[in-house]
Amino acid sequence: MNHIDKPLCNCGVVGIYNHPQASLMTYYALHALQHRGQESAGIVASRQKSSDPSKKKFAIHKAHGLVLDIFADENILMHDLRGTASIGHNRYSTTGSNIKRANIQPFYSSYHAGNLALAHNGNLTNTLTMRRNLSNEGVLFQTSTDSEIILHLIARSREDTTLLRIQDALRQVRGAYSLTILTDEGLVAARDPHGFRPLCIGKLGDSYVVASETCALDIISATYVRDVHPNEIILIDDETIRTGVIKSMQIDDVTPRPAHCIFEYIYFARPDSMIFGHAVDKVRRKLGKRLAEEGGVLPMEPGGKVVVINVPDSSNTATLGFSRVNQTAHGTDTRYEIGLIRSHYVGRTFIAPGQANREFKVKTKFNVVRGVLEGQQVVVVDDSIVRGTTSKALVNLIREAKPREVHLRITAPPITHPCKYGMDFPSREELIANQHNLDVEEIRAALGVDSLQYLSIEGLLETVPNENGEGYCTACFTGNYPVEIDSEANKLALEEMG
Ligand code: SF4
């Protein structure tokens, strides 16, 4: 997928237990989660050893590329990865090089207590300290990712059971993690104490499914049971299949206030998913509505009309909400139109460096519907502005259709800080909001639009679900990081450590 100037999402994880075609189900689920990571993917499956049915054999297949391409050879899923339990991972690298094959997840290890495979979504925040400590104790790292630390901590734990070993490991790491772990006993899933990233549990007949978003349950017709709670480790094993009881334990003794990633609602999660217990579609519509309340666009002359367009696909849902309220609250003749058409066949287009090529990159992804925009007062609703380079190129493209005016409305506050919990943002200096010291009028002029309005942080916090005492991370808008970062490690810091 050719992302253009959006924060890149981290990863998607899946786990299936007690299904005769576990890896095939994982494959479909990973395909539904492809938006969470497009650099690489992998599946680990377990089956009984034919020589000794009391033991498990783990098989793995992983590669760079998209899920449908990596598993295109049907022998991989039907033969190599046969078995009744599996985990899978889609990766966009937030720590570690994206070229290194060893960094592709799931990770697999055979240790004194048996087989262990792990898939991780999120970023740890005490990575450098933990890695240094483990290296000093003689641990040899195969990858340059934070996720491998968890695997070593589990393998080195002196606790008696798998669940206790995993708890012991997770008590030592900090930051964001939604995990699926496959062991000889069963499928384990865990979510960090703050619950930064989503993770849900579903059921499919006698099988259990764990996935980052509910769209992965839908594709295999599994029904949503509940979320893995923040600060919770669950185990689904043969006893669960017999009794229906999911074993559960806390990671830390005290569960802190949640810090769900608010950006999942704004942009990352699919609108057809439910995350943190709520439908993304509904929340995103409300964000658009609130933005229209805060910054509606009135026609230039009485009786005139306003044409509202989305930036496909990320702002489709919010634009529905915006145009509805722009019509009702302001009594404005507001038309929601399809003014931009997105090419779905972009892939990794070769673009030479330079500003003019940025425009070309936008043109490989979008084209304008001239008849919709020409001579109109156009409102473009988008979900975020990062560097601003793409927004500017998009505005230039829209201007080629000769609208009378172009107004930009953003369903998020200005991004001022990078994410430390698993999203890839550019540096603070590269963010357009910082380049103009948060001066919206300056940003407007730089983007070349007639007006610009961001959603306020108050508007954002009042719009996302709050009824059950939810708490959110808003660090990329406010700089208030809910979990301490123990070093300013960048994405490739572990590479440099060797
Ligand atoms: S910093 Fe932003 S993107 Fe990162 S977890 Fe917090 S809200 Fe989400």
Report which residue type is found at 303.
G
Higher-confidence position of 436 and 498:
436
Nearest one of 337, 343, 347, 344 to 370, comparing CA atoms: 337
Q: How far is the CA of 424 from the centre of ligand 1 (A)?
A: 10
Q: Which of 124, 474, 483 to mutate to test the pocket of ligand 1 (most atoms within 8 A of CB)?
A: 474
Please give the pLDDT value at position 8: 67
Question: Does ligand 1 have an atom closer than 6 angstroms to the CB of 45?
Answer: no
Per-residue pLDDT reduced to its tens digit, 76-102: 999 999 999 999 999 886 555 566 888
Could you give the percent of the chain with pLDDT greater than 90?
81
**Index of the ligand 1 atom closest to the CA of residue 176:** 5
Please give the pLDDT value at position 494: 59
**pTM (2 d.p.):** 0.94
Q: How far is the CA of 339 from the centre of ligand 1 (A)?
A: 30
310 has pLDDT over 70: yes
Per-residue pLDDT reduced to its tens digit, 40-54: 999 999 999 989 988
Interior CA angle at 44 toward 138 and 237, to 5°? 95
Report which residue type is found at 247.
K
Per-residue pLDDT reduced to its tens digit, 411-439: 999 999 999 998 888 899 999 999 999 99
CA distance 47 to 59: 8
Nearest one of 198, 22, 194 to 117, comparing CA atoms: 22
Question: Does ligand 1 have an atom closer than 6 angstroms to the CB of 475?
Answer: yes
CA distance 488 to 142: 23
Q: Which of 419, 457, 470, 491 to mutate to test the pocket of ligand 1 (most atoms within 8 A of CB)?
A: 419
**Index of the ligand 1 atom closest to the CA of residue 417:** 1
Q: Which residue has the tokens 């810091």?
A: 493
Query: Mean of the pLDDT values across residues 10-27?
Result: 96
364 has pLDDT over 90: no
Query: Mean of the pLDDT values across residues 208-233?
Result: 98
CA distance 381 to 319: 6
Query: Mean of the pLDDT values across residues 354-371?
Result: 82
Report which residue type is found at 461.
L
349 has pLDDT over 60: no
HEC sequence for 352-370 = CCCHHHHHHHHHHHEEECH
CB 486 within 8 A of CB 478: no
Q: How far is the CA of 476 from the centre of ligand 1 (A)?
A: 5
Q: How confident is the model at residue 1 (pLDDT cuts 50, 70, 90)?
A: very low
Pairing of strands 333-337, 305-310: parallel
End-to-end CA, the chain: 30
Per-residue pLDDT reduced to its tens digit, 137-193: 999 999 988 999 999 999 999 999 999 999 999 999 999 999 999 999 999 999 999
Q: How confident is the model at residue 362 (pLDDT cuts 50, 70, 90)?
A: confident
Atom 5 of ligand 1 has which residue's CA nearest to it? 261
CB 144 within 8 A of CB 103: yes
Please give the pLDDT value at position 283: 98
Catalytic residues: 11
Return the structure tokens found at 323: 């145009």
Please give the pLDDT value at position 344: 80
Could you give the percent of the chain with pLDDT greater than 70?
92
Which residues, in sequence order, are CB contacts of 334 under 8 Å at separation 6+? 305, 306, 308, 323, 326, 327
Please give the pLDDT value at position 224: 98
Q: How far is the CA of 477 from the centre of ligand 1 (A)?
A: 8
Higher-confidence position of 285 and 328:
285
DSSP-derived letter for residue 267 is: I
Higher-confidence position of 219 and 494:
219
Please give the pLDDT value at position 425: 86
Highest mean pLDDT out of 16-20, 126-130, 348-352: 16-20
106 has pLDDT over 70: yes
Please give the pLDDT value at position 179: 98
Question: Does ligand 1 have an atom closer than 6 angstroms to the CB of 423?
Answer: yes
291 has pLDDT over 90: yes
Atom 6 of ligand 1 has which residue's CA nearest to it? 473
Question: Does ligand 1 have an atom closer than 6 angstroms to the CB of 9?
Answer: no
Q: How confident is the model at residue 487 (pLDDT cuts 50, 70, 90)?
A: low
63 has pLDDT over 70: yes
Q: How far is the CA of 188 from the centre of ligand 1 (A)?
A: 25
Question: Does ligand 1 have an atom closer than 6 angstroms to the CB of 318?
Answer: no
Report cis status (omega within 30 of 0) of the bond before 106.
yes
Please give the pLDDT value at position 471: 94
Q: How far is the CA of 189 from the centre of ligand 1 (A)?
A: 22
Return the structure tokens found at 232: 């919770």
Query: Mean of the pLDDT values across residues 364-380?
Result: 96
Query: Mean of the pLDDT values across residues 58-69?
Result: 96
CB 91 within 8 A of CB 65: no
3 has pLDDT over 70: no
Question: Does ligand 1 have an atom closer than 6 angstroms to the CB of 311?
Answer: no
DSSP-derived letter for residue 232 is: E
